[in-house]
Amino acid sequence: MKKIVVFGDTSFAGIVGEYINSTNLAEVVAYTLDSAFIKNRTSFEGFPLIPFEQIENRYNPIDFEMLIAISSVSQMKHLNSIKFYEAQKKGYQLFSFIHPTAFVANSATIGANVLIFPHAIVEPQAIINNGVFVRSAAYVSHETEIGAFSYLAPRAAFSGKIKTGNHCFFGTNSTIRDNVNIGDNVIVGAGATVLKNLPNETILKAADCDILPIDRFKLKL
C-alpha cells in the first residue's frame, strides 16, 4: 500500500486524509507544512506534522509519495502549484486519489496530484490536468479538459468539449454549457451558468435574488 505525506493543515487537508485512510488504496502517514506556519506544533489530526524543509529526511521520496492538499481558494495565489513543483524538486512522486465511488472512464486522462471525491463522474476522453480537485458529485462530460490546479466544487457540471484554463474555481452547482472555452484564473460562483467563452481573470456570479416578504404577493385561491 502506498504511503502518503499530505502538505496542508486546513480542514480540507484533514478531509482528504480521512477519505484516503477510509479506503485500502493508500495510507496517509504524516502531514507537512512550511516551518514558519508550524510554530510549536508537532501533530495534525493525530499524525506527525513535519516541517516541509526537512520532510525528505524523515520520509524518503523513494518510499513515500506526497499530496498537496491546498484548495485554490487559499490566501496565497497559486500556492498549490508552487508546492507541487517544490515537492517534485525534492524527488517526490505526486499522488492522485480517486474515491472508489467515483466513476472515471478508462479513456479519461488523469494528471498528478488529482483528487476525485465520492460520486464524481469523469466521462470518456476527458482530461483532468495536474493538481485538479473534483469534489463530490461533480460532473465532467466527454472530451472536456480541466486546466491545471483548478477546483470543481460539489455538483459543478461541465457539458462536453469544454476547455478551461489553469487555476480556475467553479462553485457549487455551477453549470458550463458545451463547446465553451474558459481562460486562466477564472472564478465562476455558486449556481452560476456559463453560456459563452470567458477570458482570463474573469469573475462570474449567479444573479442575486431579492428576498421579498410574503405580503408583497396576492394569492388567488
At 219, is the pLDDT very low, low, confident or very high (cuts 50, 70, 90)? very low
148-158 pLDDT per residue, tens: 999 999 999 99
pLDDT of residue 101 exceeding 70: yes
pLDDT of residue 221: 37
Contact 202/184 with Cβ under 8 angstroms? no
> Across residues 102-114, what is the average pLDDT?
98
34-79 pLDDT per residue, tens: 999 998 899 999 999 999 999 999 999 999 999 999 876 545 568 9
> Across residues 129-151, what is the average pLDDT?
97
Where do the domains of the chain lie? 2-89, 97-204
Under CATH, what is the fold of the domain 2-89?
A: Rossmann fold (3.40.50)
Q: How far apart are CA 139 and CA 58, in angstroms?
A: 38
Residue 25, Cβ density class (10 Å: 0-12 exposed, 13-18 middle, ≥19 buried): middle
193-214 pLDDT per residue, tens: 999 999 999 999 886 555 445 4
Q: Match 483548478 to its residue by C-alpha cell.
A: 150
Enumerate residues 6+ apart whose C-beta is below 8 A from 216. Answer: none
* Superfamily covering domain 97-204: Hexapeptide repeat proteins (2.160.10.10)
